[in-house]
Amino acid sequence: MGMFFLKELPSREMLKGYKERFPQMDVDDVGEGLRLLRRASLLLRRIEAYFATHKLSQTRFLVLIVLDREGLHGGLLAKEIAEKLDISRPIVTNTLKSMKDDGLLHINPHAEDGRAKWITLTGTGREKLSAVLPEYYAIIHDFMNTDKDEG
């Protein structure tokens, strides 16, 4: 996950100086975009710190969410999980294996294609997701209702 580590955003005067060098630049749009990047990074840090207390990462959480969302089908192929996440296939593969090792997922050969892997949540995986979602949503709610200029 990319983070925006700039603690002090450029002043409006500094952005106006850049506009003189790069006339196509819109000072208001760039200023707002930088503020959004900064706030999104702060929120991601809070969420990742919270996940760490539950032995999760953003990637592991997203795998749980995607599988939970597909509950009607019971599971997904490993390649379908990779397609639904904006994460490289090798990282997804390694994440799925470690989540299986931790008892969060079942990985079985697909009935029609023995090379394909069918991924389903275990009871432990469902419990983990149910345990983290309330506070996850509370963190987002609290963050969205704090002063937008904090940082």
Domains, the chain, in order of start with CATH, read 12-144 (1.10.10.10)
State if pTM tops 0.85.
no
| CA–CA distance, 43 with 32 (Å, rounded to integer) | 16
Mind listing the pLDDT tens digit for each residue in 7-27?
677 888 888 888 888 889 999
For 109, the 3-state DSSP assignment is strand
Is-contact 90 80, C-beta < 8 A? no
Residue 103 and residue 124 in contact, taking contact as beta carbons nearer than 8 Å: yes
The more confidently predicted of residues 23 and 60 is: 60
Averaged pLDDT for residues 33-52:
91
Residue 63's CB is within 10 A of a number of other CB atoms, namely: 28
Amino acid at 28: D
- Which residues are CB-neighbours of 77 under 8 A, at least 6 positions away? 110, 116, 117, 118, 119
* Structure confidence at residue 98 as a pLDDT band (50, 70, 90): very high
For the chain, helix (H) and strand (E) counts, in that order, are: 6, 3
Distance CA(119)–CA(13), nearest Å, equals 53
